[in-house]
Amino acid sequence: MLLHASSSLYISLHSSRTHSSLGLLSHERPLLPSAIISCSFQPKRLENTIWASRTSSILNTFTAKAASVEAGASAVSNGKAESDVLTALSQIIDPDFGTDIVSCGFVKDLDINEALGEVSFRLELTTPACPIKDMFEQQANEVVEKLAWVKNVKVTMSAQPARPMYAGQLPKGLQTISNIVAVSSCKGGVGKSTVAVNLAYTLAGMGARVGIFDADVYGPSLPTMVSPENRLLEMNPEKRTIIPTEYMGVKLVSFGFAGQGRAIMRGPMVSGVIDQLLTTTEWGELDYLVIDMPPGTGDIQLTLCQVVPLTAAVIVTTPQKLAFIDVAKGVRMFSKLKVPCVAVVENMCHFDADGKRYYPFGRGSGSQVVQQFGIPHLFDLPIRPALSASGDSGVPEVVADPQGEVARTFQELGVCIVQQCAKIRQQVSTAVTYDKSIKVIRVKVPDSDEEFLLHPATVRRNDRSAQSVDEWTGEQKLQYTDVPEDIEPEEIRPMGNYAVSITWPDGFSQIAPYDQLQTIERLVDVPQPTAAKV
């Protein structure tokens, strides 16, 4: 393997000429052409009387009107049937979003045959690892079957296609990854890699498409903790992209699979290697990419957080006071980078012997992190020889003993990650929206109950990019009169957890961080909705 530290950095990997990447194409079902009814009439016999002809005409007119009335009644009936089904399904509430599955947009491909009493539809959830998908399916069957005219219900479960939360230009390898979760400790030796690997295989066991990226170049753990058949990364020579190796359906990338194990190099070079490994890998469609972060809060960690649109972070600690001090620095780093920390895992907490529970390293580090920083969930892992042994054997503990106590804890952590990532994506997607009825921008920053309104022209005038403000002198280049008072945004898209991208009619794309939007002058007198034109 060759490393070149020049204007660009390349990793030479084992190439595979026979490799061809699989592109998953999504095609909409083509619409069927409208039915065309052709009627052919035979010539009237000459002996038919004028009276017979008129009678036939009257009968035909009557028949046509009757058919029209019947078709109209059928349309009304079908409309009522659809309304009945959707009303029934709206009784099912998603506990994560706090609203019904119809309002969430989960109900797709609704098909009703009222004459036969048949109803079919698809529930498209946010992730295939949804922990309550079976409950949704059961409830959907039950509520629709209660309708008096329904005899048969067919429910199909599916998940939304993988797509990032980030609106900007992402490296191609990251464009089909829904959620990227960082597992961090900011201190070595606390079991961070153990948590990252077991979390990844727990999510895979829940039905998700998962990948693991081992970001520790100095001491990669992944090659020890898993045993893929192919232990070398390959490169697609045509695309110059990296093909990840796999173990039990989970895609794996680590510097340890690059041929030389551990690296001896300076920080900037390490950052380049990590960037290349992560962004040029053909990850394909993933629901979750778990990143095993290296310990510390230096250049490498900042590079990862800035290059990759992290959805959330999991903090791993141990009961000692010293571990809390190091973890606190990491939590503050994620906070500044607008990455929400959603769970704390306190490893090596206790062990049971002689009917008693012992805490050899003290207690309280994990709960202190939760209380001081407001992180919502805390998970305890015991001192368990099997957990340590599984990390050295190449088989994760949740795979080796899927019914054990450790696996149950990781199952709870996996459910937490799925739910929190879904909440974050929902909050981000609705944080900043444009209300056309009153021509205002609505803002509700994630983790805040406050909603406020902004005038579109005010938002546009407060752009702080180089096109609007001189970077050297601070002189305002965009003048007040340059922005029409009635300007309206064409599109608003989220950019990770910290900002939105607003496209204006002149083609300008404005990056508006939440922090900046909170400082802009707000509308006090809310405009009345514009009257609909008749």
Q: Note the pLDDT tens digit of each residue in 54-65.
A: 444 444 544 444
Question: Which stretches of the chain drop beneath a pLDDT of 70?
Answer: 1-78, 167-168, 259-268, 296-298, 527-534
Pairing between strand 440-443 and 452-454?
A: antiparallel
Q: Output the pLDDT for position 206.
A: 94
* Position 265, amino acid: M
Q: Output the pLDDT for position 297.
A: 66
Q: Helix, strand, or coil here: 195?
A: helix
Does residue 369 contact residue 375 with C-beta atoms inside 8 Å?
Answer: yes
- Going by C-alpha positions, the residue among 183, 177, 156 that lies closest to residue 165 is 177
Q: Which two tokens stand for residue 359?
A: 């805490």
* Position 85, amino acid: V
Q: What's the pTM?
A: 0.76
Does residue 126 contact residue 425 with C-beta atoms inside 8 Å?
Answer: yes
Q: How far apart are CA 218 and CA 224, in angstroms?
A: 14
β-pair partners for 158: 124
Burial 325-340 (b: 16+ CB within 10 A, else e): ebbbebbebbeebbbb
Q: Which two tokens stand for residue 191?
A: 């079991």
Domains of the chain: 74-159 (3.30.300.130), 172-426 (3.40.50.300), 432-519 (3.30.2020.30)
Q: Where are the alpha helices (DSSP H) in 206-249?
A: 222-225
Q: Output the pLDDT for position 183.
A: 94
User: Which residues in 335-377 belong to E strands, given as ranges?
Assistant: 341-346, 351-353, 356-358
Does residue 402 contact residue 490 with C-beta atoms inside 8 Å?
Answer: no
Q: Output the pLDDT for position 313.
A: 93
Q: How far apart are CA 11 and CA 5, in angstroms?
A: 10
Q: Output the pLDDT for position 260.
A: 61
* Position 401, amino acid: D
Q: How far apart are CA 345 and CA 330, in angstroms?
A: 14
Q: How far apart are CA 245 and CA 256, in angstroms?
A: 12
Q: How far apart are CA 288 and CA 213, in angstroms?
A: 11
Q: DSSP states of 141-179 as a string?
A: HHHHHTSTT--EEEEEEEEPPP--SB-S---GGGTTEEE
Q: Output the pLDDT for position 531.
A: 53
Element (DSSP H or E) covering residue 86:
helix 50-89
Q: Which two tokens stand for residue 317?
A: 């600690």
User: Which residues in 160-202 belong to E strands, given as ranges?
Assistant: 177-184
β-pair partners for 435: 440
Quote the DSSP letter at residue 271.
H
From the CB of residue 491, how many other CB atoms can be counted at a distance below 10 Å? 12
Q: Which residues, 6+ apart, have CB-to-CB distance to 33 below 8 Å?
A: none
Q: Output the pLDDT for position 220.
A: 85
- Going by C-alpha positions, the residue among 246, 277, 283 that lies closest to residue 172 is 283
From the CB of residue 28, how many other CB atoms can be counted at a distance below 10 Å? 5
Q: Which two tokens stand for residue 422?
A: 């879904």
